[in-house]
Amino acid sequence: MKIIINIQKIANKIINSRYSKHVYLIAVILISTYGIAHADPDPIFDADAPVDGGLSLLIAGGIGYGVKKVREQRRKQNEK
């Protein structure tokens, strides 16, 4: 019973935190890329170019860039 209560407390903290939009956005991106990766290929469009590796790198780069911008913004706020 304690485990369930602790999980509920953690979930409430995540939902009520100021980063909840970011958590939801990351979850949507991860779920959608999983669905795209496992979709049935279109028989008309038979491309031999791999997209998975490049797409993963773009997502990782975007997350890294977002983290960098957040850190820069916090640093500017702390200097004031």
pTM more than 0.85:
no
Question: Who's near 33: CB < 8 A, 6+ residues apart?
Answer: 55, 59
Residue type at position 6: N
- Name the DSSP class of 48: -
Walk along the chain (80 residues) and give the pLDDT tens digit of each residue: 566 667 777 777 766 767 777 777 888 888 777 766 666 666 666 556 666 777 888 888 899 999 999 999 998 888 86
Cα–Cα distance for residue pair 19/38, rounded to 1 Å: 29
For the beta carbon of residue 76, count every other beta carbon within 10 angstroms.
Answer: 9
Half-sphere exposure of 5 (CA within 13 A, CB side): 2
pLDDT for residue 1: 56
